[in-house]
Structure 1
């Protein structure tokens, strides 16, 4: 099987591990493990069914409406084995949002697990003619009665064929389509090719030298691109994907100890919360060989505490938007030496992956002066194909360099080179810059000062209040118990220009998080705006 595989195909690593480690665990869900051979057989059965019931489709995509379940994993692999890219849909998302994604992708088949069933009727709405596959169900008659305008298939329809010929997609074909938040309020679909993700996985495998004994965390929902590391790095190495339960997603210390994880990967908010709740103790996680964080800025105190808890191996801060295929830059934590390299108490994002090139732009493709901040633009083999059926947004974000002709992705992130020119420092989002009385203000700088003065776990600054002339000040949300604001704001006056000193401090017990586990700034800002 492996000798016939297309090298730059997302499913190739899993298939190779089936041959090398057929009896080793590929996934662990609810304390039960499934071997590579068994997972392969079930995924091939899904692929065979998809081919039989939908031999031709308007788009080469199959939707997977599931989360951290056997159905989710066999659905993803089944879509790939059928020769399609997969489109993950999150059972926790509102039905309207999921319906938009399903309709926009034009998927004709949907693999569904128990997590997704409560919202399925609302998601399908007035759609008809879809192939609905329920791998966990046997009661076909009941489901057919519930969804009479669709073709329903259950576990009894999933039969593993005696032989299965794996597809041979082109490197530029879509491996997965992920919908991210769009400025219009409608999600935009990022098309990532087999060549893009193959390059990322190859770079990561060369760096981390993982093997079949490794046990991987699975903290990311499938709609978050970082979940591909959890799954496909594990399966490329022959390792095991270990799924946490709902409680362990919030407080993962017990999960790490229970599953004896060797590879940890999450958003920094998990480390921040663990530190705040005193879950991090020196050498608490001796099994972890690699600690990786990505998805938002990594606070220095959280990095330092986590590194001491998982001291058996390195900690790395990864950076990369979905459009650059998971991650494209990284920084290795060096203990006390790294504290001096942090800017505004945020860990640097380091240096670019092999083959990726950096341009810090003052405007358009004009390079910023050394040490000055600017928007990060990147080019290289991990630049995604663009946005699904949206040439206008694609042209705006994926731009051709006027001299080289290379396609650069505009990240919208503000960065600068460190004073010694050795590493990238993350400042914030371009759209997290605000202008107050004509002066450009970087909210991250204000957050760092207030965080230091209050000793709070996290601080978020937003441009508010707003008057007829635009943003007139800054309001800071401080995580933790109520504090006396006056002395804090007085102290801030000695650290910040008058126009940058917050107008108000608001203490909150917890920050709202978006679907990807990041602090939801829009939700915080919405609490300040009067109801219309």
Structure 2
């Protein structure tokens, strides 16, 4: 039984609509100045303290913006500020200060190669960049890469908590630098009251620009408007009764759009963002207990590790009231285990690509009903969020019947603006289907359309349907059989080796990561699969791993597994 609705809210979540992200934070800071806004490295920062940091940095950004030269005038210079930082105090204050100064933010990680950071800076044309210590350490290499690209834009770099070395300043005289010792003096010309005004931006303005992997090898920038994320927040605040007493996990990097739920789900209602360190993030069991987490959010791959090492025991998380999964297919066994581990929690699977603002459908797990509604042992993705429209179409863009399979298209107030300065790609992905007047986003995901008998289910990417020996094969079906027969919560099947003519592959290779003390007989497993699947779908071999490689978003890194095969 959930206690989600047992506590009244202090405000109407509908008031979130029409407010910018910065305004939502400032409202919470005014209403809850003494409450903790962030727990980081074992210390808590109050809303009043965070607001002071944010306001000072925002004033410094505003003060220096007029020094960027003639190309910085409104309408020419894009309203974006980059944040080259990772899950640190400067990262959080940088994001909020960028927004409070009237800009959208562009998150970048210091763990990225310098060439990628330089590419993102050049493409976004962000003229101001906020840095943490690791960002400062990477900066010389990034600026050298920008020079090599012929990028001549002068930029302003702000390190609100750190020192910028004199040799770095001397090596790059085209740019300006403000570090911790200079921040107050830099901000002095701008009154604090001005931040309240600049935080009130147009709902159509870009809230954040996220660069995601592109099929061409060049990252594509997804533009998400203030009104898009405001709508998402209004929905989840209402749906989950988010409130000031909530303590949220922050397991995602800020370059992953799921981080927006952690950051602004918390900061919109006066809750606390709890930031585990690298070790705690990998196995957050003890951190959840010690930090008294009430709202847990992760990709399934990250949660699988808890079950793999037998930390997901019944009743272990009595204070969790909300458990959310997103980003990958959610195995039914994992949902069931988490529901038992957090008996007072609502457990939901939410779905949505970045282009539809984080998540736009939801399915609530019910131990009695849900197992029968799963497909390929994956939890359904359920019903669309309010005002979001669903179409499931065939290859000719004709809508399929209830219960049919096709590509998912979605429209509504969470549909993003498109791709940054890429009208051709935007037109291909955001289009008006036949018989419609509204623009829909093509997700590239294959789903089974909801019917009276069952909710909408996720079947994999349209490009996960491959040809093996001339037969069309859903890799997700093979992965479901592997998980079921091996008794595991994760499996990967890849089509390999490829045919010489480039049309499909000759066979399938499987990857599994059983617990350290498990004795998995792969020959017996393949024999069982042979009795369940056509011969061309049975993996040629099974590779056992100590653990699946994960990408920066915490998802299983299929590219790394493919590279292992191609090596």
Q: 1:116 aligns with which of 129, 132, 135?
A: 135
Shift of 1:343: 1.1
* Shift in CA distance, 143/230, structure 1 to aligned 2, threshold 3 Å: same
**Contact 1:49 1:157 (8 Å CA) reproduced:** no
CA 1:186 to 1:525, structure 2 compared with 1: closer, same or farther past 3 Å?
A: same
Change (3 A) 1:209 1:276: same
SS in 2 for 1:237: coil
Which residue is 1:513 aligned to? 550
Partner of 1:166: 197
Matches of 1:8 and 1:162 in 2, distance apart? 19
Which residue matches 1:46?
57
* CA separation of 1:497 and 1:54: change in aligned 2, threshold 3 A: same
Instruction: State whether structure 2 residue 510 is matched by structure 1 residue 476.
Output: yes
Structure 1 residue aligned with 2:159, among 108, 125, 134?
Answer: 134
Is 1:417 the counterpart of 2:449 in the alignment? yes
Asked whether the 8 Å contact 1:483–1:507 carries over to 2, the reply is no
Instruction: Determine the structure 2 residue equivalent to 1:30.
Output: 41
Aligned to 2:84: 65
CA distance in 1, matches of 2:142, 2:396: 41
Structure 1 residues 14-57: Cα deviation after superposition (integer angstroms, max 9, x where no partner):
11112111121111111111111221121111111111112336
* Larger mean Cα displacement after TM superposition, 28-37 or 237-246: 28-37
Q: Is the 8 A contact 1:6 1:12 kept in 2?
A: no
Mapped to 2, the partners of 1:508 and 1:30 lie a distance apart of 32
Structure 1 stretch 9-18 or stretch 216-225: which is displaced more?
Answer: 9-18
Alignment match of 2:97 (pick from 71, 75, 78) = 78
In structure 2, distance between residues paired with 1:5 and 1:381: 14
Shift of 1:514: 1.2
Please report the RMSD computed on the Cα atoms of aligned residues, expressed in angstroms. Answer: 2.0
Aligned to 1:92: 111
Cα shift readout 1:87-126 (whole Å, capped 9, x = no counterpart): 0001222222222111110001110001323322112222
Could you tell me how far 1:484 is from its partner in structure 2?
3.8
Q: Does residue 270 of structure 2 align to residue 238 of structure 1? A: yes
Following TM superposition, by how much is the alpha carbon of 1:139 offset from its aligned partner in structure 2, in angstroms? 6.0
1:233-270 Cα distance to aligned partner (Å, 9 max, x none): 11111111111011011000111011101111111112
Give the secondary structure class of the aligned counterpart of 1:202: helix
Give the 3-state SS of the residue equivalent to 2:394 in structure 1.
strand
Alignment check: 8 A CA contact 2:164 2:177 kept: no
Task: List gaps (5 residues or longer) in structure 2.
Answer: 1-10, 67-71
Residue 10 of structure 1 and its aligned partner are, at CA, apart by 1.7
Q: Is the CA contact (8 Å cut-off) linking 1:350 and 1:424 kept in structure 2?
A: yes
2:38/2:272 contact within 8 Å kept: yes
1:5–1:166 contact (8 Å) kept in structure 2: no
Separation in structure 2 between the aligned mates of residue 146 and residue 230 of structure 1, nearest angstrom: 38
User: Structure 1 residue 308: deviation in Å?
Assistant: 1.2
Q: Structure 1 pair 340/155, CA: closer, same or farther in 2 (3 Å)?
A: same
Please list, as runs of the form range in 1=range in 2, the aligned pairs for 1:303-314 lying within 5 A after superposition: 303-314=335-346
Paired residue secondary structure (1:366): coil
Structure 2 CA distance for aligned equivalents of residues 144 and 383 of structure 1: 42
Choose the corresponding residue for 2:523, options 486, 496, 507.
486
Q: CA deviation at 1:6?
A: 9.0
CA distance in 1, matches of 2:79, 2:143: 20
For residue 193 of structure 2, give the secondary structure of its aligned residue in structure 1.
coil
Moved more, 198-207 or 305-314: 305-314
Partner of 1:526: 563
Larger deviation: 436-445 or 99-108? 436-445
Given that 2:214 and 2:220 are in contact with CA atoms closer than 8 Å, whether structure 1 keeps it comes out as yes
Give how far 1:147 is off: 4.4
Give the Cα–Cα distance (whole angstroms) in 2 for the partners of residues 153 and 291 of structure 1.
41
In the alignment, the residues of structure 1 paired with residue 520 and residue 39 of structure 2 have an alpha-carbon distance, to the nearest angstrom, of: 44
Please name the residue that 1:279 is paired with: 311
The answer to which of 258-267 and 490-499 deviates more is: 490-499
Cα distance change on mapping 1:69 and 1:146 into 2, 3 Å: farther
SS in structure 2 at match of 1:334: coil
Change (3 A) 1:200 1:496: same
CA contact (8 A) 2:16 2:230 kept: no
Q: Bigger relative contact order, structure 1 or 2, given CA contacts below 8 A and separation 6+? A: 2
Of residues 247-256 and 494-503 in structure 1, the stretch that sits farther from structure 2 once superposed is 494-503
Match of 2:213 in 1: 181
Inter-partner Cα distance in structure 2 for 1:112 and 1:49: 14
Q: Aligned to 1:67, what secondary structure does the other structure show?
A: coil
Partner-residue secondary structure (3-state), 2:201: coil
Instruction: Verify the 8 A CA contact 1:79 1:85 in the aligned structure 2.
Output: yes
